[in-house]
Structures are given as structure tokens and as C-alpha cells.
Amino acid sequence: MGAGVSAQYLKLDVTSGIDQAAIFRAPVPDAFYRFKAHDWAVGFNGGLLAQFDNGVRVGLTYRSAIDHEIEGSLDFTGASPLLGMVNGAASAKTRLPATTGLSVTSEVSPNITLFADAQFTQWSVFKEVVIESKNPPFANVEGYRDSWMVAVGSKVRLDDRWSLKGGIAFDQTPVTSRFRAVSLADTDRYLLGFGAEYRMTDSLSVEGAYGHSFAFNHPNMNSSINNTDPITHSVVLNGKYDIAVDILAFSVRYRI
């Protein structure tokens, strides 16, 4: 059994345009607002690990939700004085989700180890971010849902020095089509990964890995309530996105 304290740092930097031409019915350029804020907050975590005689290990972990009250500034660029927008201090409240994880490791032979992992993230607490200042509140509607991530993999020991690893995962997005935003036009993803470990000595080992995250569908903004600008709602955005990420990792491990 184990438990600990989590210190979490959150930084937010958001820029958005204001369609002044739609407001004044005249050919004037867009204005922009920028919200910059940050915060430290504290949560807790805990876990259990059980090891059985048949080489199976089962682990359960929990990391608490963390509440943030980020503080910073809201600044406008190119805004007409007729809008009455004021630069100055601004803040917003948000909650980042709790996560629960379950993992199973099985040594099916001296040279082969199998892994399985499931993680549940309570993203449904992340409903909206409202920017409060001397101006009218700016609401960013998120409407996230709870999500799952499941993964399976294996490690094959080739000899006393070399081991190969590989796996596949499904990562469900918390973003729904109804609330998708251009800031995170996400969708469900799959991840394929492989890597190798080399033991230089009994205490020192190095490891490298490559992962590719991809989606089978193209998320779009067509049915989202966030497909208009947040101030005038005069500009409607329609379009689709390609989702793909390549990940490279390298680590050095030393055992005392």
C-alpha cells in the first residue's frame, strides 16, 4: 500500500478573435482578447499492489480530482472603445479530474511478460471555464464526458542484455461532437508502440521506444455549439481534422 500528495501546476494561455465587423456592421478589422493565468493546487493519490505466487501482480491506483482557481490577466488588442472592454486582472475556476487505474502483469515464462492496463478518468467534472473580470463573463463551454483508456502489451527477453517491448491501446476522448472546440478538436484514438531495453550492467539499463497515435475518423465542428465565435456568434466554423501524434521516448535507469 502507498499514498502521497500531488502538487499540480496549471497554466492557461487562450487567444480568441472578436468579429467587430459583425458588431458595427462596418468593414473594421477583428479585435483579439488574450487570457493568461496560472495556479498551483494540491491533491492526493494512493495505491495497492498484490503479488501472487503464480507470477501475477495486480495494482490499483487512484489520483484525486484537483480544484484550481487560476489568476492572471485579460488583455484586448485592436478593440474599439465603443465595446467598453477593459484590460486588467482576470480569473477562472476549474476542476481537473480524478483517475482510477487497474493493471495486471503476468510472467507467463522466464522470458515473456504480459501486461494489461485500464484507466478511468472522471472528465465529466470539466463542464465549462468562465473567465471573470471587469468585463462581462466569457464562458468556454467544454461539456466533457468520463473516458476510458485500455492497453495490452508484452515484454520478450531475448537474452541477459536485450529485451523487446510492444503494445496497443485504445484511448477514449472526453470530447463529444456536441461540444468539440477548435482548441482541442479531439476524437477517440488508438496507439501502437514498440521499444527495446538494453542492460549495460546489473544496475544500469537504457531504453528507447516509439509510439504512433491515430484515429480512424475525422472529428468535425459541424454540429458543435462551439463552432461560432464566443462574442458575436456571427462566424460559423465548419470543417474536419486529422488526428495523429508520433511519440519518441528514451530513458536511463540506475538501480541502487
Cα atoms in the 13 Å half-sphere on the side-chain side of 17 = 14
Contact status, residue 177 vs residue 149, Cβ threshold 8 Å = no
Q: What is the residue extent of each domain of the chain?
A: 2-254
The pLDDT of residue 181? 84
The pLDDT tens digits of the residues spanning 50-87 come to: 999 888 999 999 999 999 999 999 999 999 998 899 99
Distance of CA 88 to the CA centre of its chain: 29
What cell does 152 get?
495490452
Type of residue numbered 229: D
Q: What are the distances in angstroms from CA 170 to CA 16, 63, 252?
A: 32, 21, 27
Domain boundaries 2-254, corresponding CATH code = 2.40.160.60
The pLDDT of residue 182? 82
> How many other C-beta atoms can be found within 10 angstroms of the C-beta atom of residue 219?
20
Contact status, residue 33 vs residue 74, Cβ threshold 8 Å = yes
Name the nearest CA neighbour of 11 among 88, 71, 67, 87: 71
The phi-psi region of residue 202 (left if phi > 0; otherwise alpha if psi is between -120 and 50; otherwise beta) is alpha
The pLDDT tens digits of the residues spanning 187-203 come to: 999 999 999 999 999 89
The pLDDT of residue 230? 67
The Cα–Cα gap between 226 and 42 comes to 31
Contact status, residue 62 vs residue 44, Cβ threshold 8 Å = no
pLDDT of 231 higher than 80? no
Q: What share of the chain has pLDDT > 70, as a percent?
A: 99
Query: Residue length, the chain?
Result: 256
Q: Mean of the pLDDT values across residues 212-239?
A: 83
pTM above 0.95, yes or no: no
The pLDDT of residue 147? 97
Type of residue numbered 11: K
